[in-house]
Structure 1
Amino acid sequence: MDITLHTTFLPHTDPDASLGFYRDLLGFELTQDVGQGTMRWLTFVAPSAPDVRLVLTPPAADPGVTDAERRTVLELMAKGAYQSIILATHDLDATFATLQAADAEVVSEPTEQPWGVRDCAFRDPAGNMVRIDQVP
């Protein structure tokens, strides 16, 4: 069996702020921008992994979702408890310094975790938890 990660999704609440965070700050390449207003789907790839896509979607955009469910999703997003992503870098300290200097919301500074990973954490503009691991 030959299976790889192809696409992952995160919700967003402000497409322009998301572009600023993922494209301008983290360096992802925007490959698609579909829709208009807040109903935009943004697709990014990392230059080092162009076959893996990160798609930012409007939260709970499915027509079957009720207004109450949509409000719950937005509340969870604001707390950073709805979705998360783990990224990796070869220079965690430099990456942390760049994000901190850009006023990204710091959740945790670079830390040696008990499970053997050194990482830090931020929230993206929608509140999603973005952890960044140090890799060799």
Structure 2
Amino acid sequence: MQVRRIVVNLETPDPAAAREFYQGILGLELLMDHGWIVTYGSSQQMSVQVSFASEGGSGTPVPGLSIEVDDVDEVFAAMSASAFEIVYGPTNEPWGVRRFYVRDPFGTIVNILSHRP
């Protein structure tokens, strides 16, 4: 037996509200839209990971999602310009990432990060 895919499902009364945050700013592709469920993703191969945490690091709350991007500062600027609530950062963490937390349209804290060289 081998895990083939892990999908995160976030409950919301308005799935269409995800469009600006996940497609518009983060650039994910619309993969499926049945009205009651909307799925965004990427055709790029990615690692499968599930994390279990007692805190988010540096004394922060545990984020509901972590999304690694190639340019965290570019995404931070776009999220700030779109008036999404920045919850933490951006900051360089001692474990080698630059990151910030932002609240998505549904209230989920999302950890946006890039690994530092």
User: TM-score, normalising length from structure 2?
Assistant: 0.72
User: Higher helix proportion, which one?
Assistant: 1
1:61 aligned residue: none
Q: Is contact 1:109-1:120 (8 Å) kept?
A: yes
Larger Rg: 1
Distance in 1 (alpha carbons) for counterparts of 2:69 and 2:24: 16
1:17 alignment partner, SS class: helix
Aligned-residue offset at 1:83 = 6.8
Structure 2 equivalent of residue 122 of structure 1: 102
TM (norm. structure 1) is: 0.63
CA change 1:24–1:119 in 2 (3 A) is same
Bigger proportion of residues as strand: 1
Q: Give secondary structure in 1 for the equivalent of 2:101.
A: strand
Q: What amino acid is aligned across from residue 86 of structure 2 in structure 1?
A: V
Shift of 1:126: 0.4
- Stretches of structure 1 that go unaligned for 5 or more consecutive residues are 53-80
* Residue 6 of structure 1: how far off its partner (Å): 3.2
Distance 1:89 1:51 in 2: 13
* Counterparts of 1:82 and 1:44, CA distance in 2: 22
C-alpha change, 1:126 and 1:13, in structure 2 (3 Å) is farther
Separation in 1, partners of 2:43, 2:90? 24
- Residues 1:34 and 2:34 aligned together: yes
Amino acid at match of 2:37: W
Residues 54-81 of structure 1: CA deviation (Å, up to 9, x unaligned):
xxxxxxxxxxxxxxxxxxxxxxxxxxx8
Instruction: Name whichever of 24-33 and 5-14 sits farther off.
Output: 5-14
How many residue pairs match? The answer is 104
Asked if 1:46 corresponds to 2:42, the answer is yes
The within-5 A match list for 1:1-136 is 2-3=2-3, 5-35=5-35, 40-49=36-45, 84-135=64-115
Q: Which has the higher contact order (CA 8 A, sep 6+)?
A: 1
* In structure 2, C-alpha distance between the alignment counterparts of 1:51 and 1:88, rounded to whole Å: 11
